[in-house]
A and B are shown apart, each in its own frame.
Chain A
């Protein structure tokens, strides 16, 4: 009754435009962009296999690496984000302060600088493989953003829910995990989906660390072949197609996440 009402939306600026239900018509920007990007890509590959098919084959392992970095980083940033969000809500002053400082520091430093810092600056003390450095930096960076998303999601749940759970005898932790977080997932999912897509795009930054992601593989092809225009056209089209498909996936998942909304 009274609380199915206002839906809380957490605003996150970067990421991609995730289509909402009303954008699901036949000729939305999403459809037009997808069809155009796909047509151009197929046309180029079929009409001019040299160099476009060669480029596609060359960078295909880079696509896999981009996905690997994305998924591993998302996984760790979600865990870190949950801990940070809970930390920011903790009554324990010390935990609260640590979580808040982490968020402040990370939000204040560009991701590219964080990548340099973890790989080169810290790398002068203990060397880690570029892939590990990349995933570490991405996870730490996005963990801070996810932390804010989790905090906002948890705060959006009515405090009557906490009181009901506590009055039954659940302790703070049980209340959080059985009652609050499952409900917060609904508000958390859209911005998490958004961060997910933003993270995928930001993985292109790790190409500076000698990680063979999509952009890096493209660069390698371009410098060998001098086919800069052709190569980066393909790279851009591939990123675009991936984010278009992912944003659709995210919005479908959101639609499915409403079992008790009747």
Chain B
């Protein structure tokens, strides 16, 4: 049942928190360069689903293949997989005891054994890409939220991942900083990165998504193009969700 043409292949996944069914029979296949945006009300399991993809959350039933490898298999070296799956968190989670540059170079140096000067060059070029190369030598605590999140994106990109996972990357930001982070993500999408994004930014979803996945109560209730989802959703709960946010 391994798959070659999917970069992420989620098959009949269940996840329980005590008695709560956080994920209920989820299946989702994502192709290289595809951009998938996951929408749904609070508590519907969006974060949980995203976090199962790099096994920050262990699943209770089903299978997940990342890049053809079964990450639910006990012999799977999850650290290898994680090097190829970048993740960006709502709260940035930068390392406050390291400078911006060190935040970015740490994983390439320690995990990929890239020489320090090469790693520094890579970091600088990534900082240019996210528009804050002048902040290389400051500590994260001295940056605004928008800047911190852009550093966090650069940090994830430094491992040259095949997929990027974003869990509400703009939800902790002041409104005036949301744009600068979304711009970086839009550019990343244009460069062909495979992206799975949980967000409440509908404008971003419409502009970037190849596919919208709508979840509620741990289930995927509807999938389709942004055009389909925003204009003709089939499921009543998708309609209700849209009426509440629009």
Contact = CB atoms under 8 A, between A and B. Distances in A.
Interface of A: 1-4, 158, 160-161, 163-171, 174, 178-179, 182-183, 259-262
A175 to B, nearest CB: 10
A169 B80 contact: yes
B148 A1 contact: yes
Closest 8 CB pairs of A and B: A164-B93, A169-B83, A260-B139, A167-B87, A160-B93, A168-B107, A169-B82, A169-B79
B79 A260 contact: no
Nearest to B90: A160
Contacts of A183: 95-97
A1 B141 CA distance: 6
B139 A168 contact: no
Contact of B56 (A161, A167, A174): A167
A169 B106 CA distance: 11
Given A168-B159, A169-B107, A2 B141 contact: no
A170 B110 contact: yes
A262 B142 contact: yes
Given A1-B145, A174-B110, A168 B156 contact: yes
A168 B141 contact: no
B112 to A, nearest CB: 9
A167 B95 contact: no
B111 A170 contact: yes
Nearest to B51: A163
Contacts of B94: 164
Contact of A260 (B92, B93, B97, B107): B97
A168 B80 CA distance: 9
Contacts of B79: 169-171
B74 to A, nearest CB: 16
B141 A178 contact: no
Contacts of A166: 56, 82
Nearest to B83: A169
Contacts of A170: 79, 107, 110-111
Interface of B: 54, 56, 79-80, 82-83, 85-87, 89, 91-97, 106-107, 110-111, 139-145, 148, 152, 155-156, 159, 172
A164 B89 contact: yes
A169 B55 CA distance: 11
A4 B172 contact: no
B208 to A, nearest CB: 22
Contacts of A168: 82-83, 106-107, 111, 155-156, 159
B141 A262 contact: yes
A163 B139 contact: no
B154 to A, nearest CB: 12
A160 B51 CA distance: 13
Contacts of A174: 110
A241 B179 CA distance: 59
B82 A163 contact: no
Given A1-B144, A1-B145, A2-B172, 17 more contacts: A1-B143, A3-B91, A4-B141, A161-B95, A163-B93, A164-B87, A168-B83, A168-B106, A168-B111, A168-B156, A169-B111, A170-B111, A174-B110, A178-B106, A178-B110, A259-B97, A262-B141
A169 B159 contact: yes
Given A1-B148, A178-B110, A183-B97, A167 B54 contact: yes
Contacts of A3: 91, 96
18 contacts: A1-B148, A2-B91, A161-B93, A163-B56, A164-B87, A164-B89, A165-B95, A167-B87, A168-B106, A168-B107, A169-B80, A169-B111, A170-B107, A174-B110, A182-B97, A183-B97, A259-B139, A261-B141
A262 B142 CA distance: 7
Nearest to A164: B93
Contacts of A179: 95
Contacts of B96: 3-4, 183, 260
B195 to A, nearest CB: 15
B116 to A, nearest CB: 15
Contacts of A4: 96, 141
A13 to B, nearest CB: 29
Contacts of B106: 168, 178
B79, B83, B86 — which one has the most chain A CB atoms within 10 A of its CB? B79
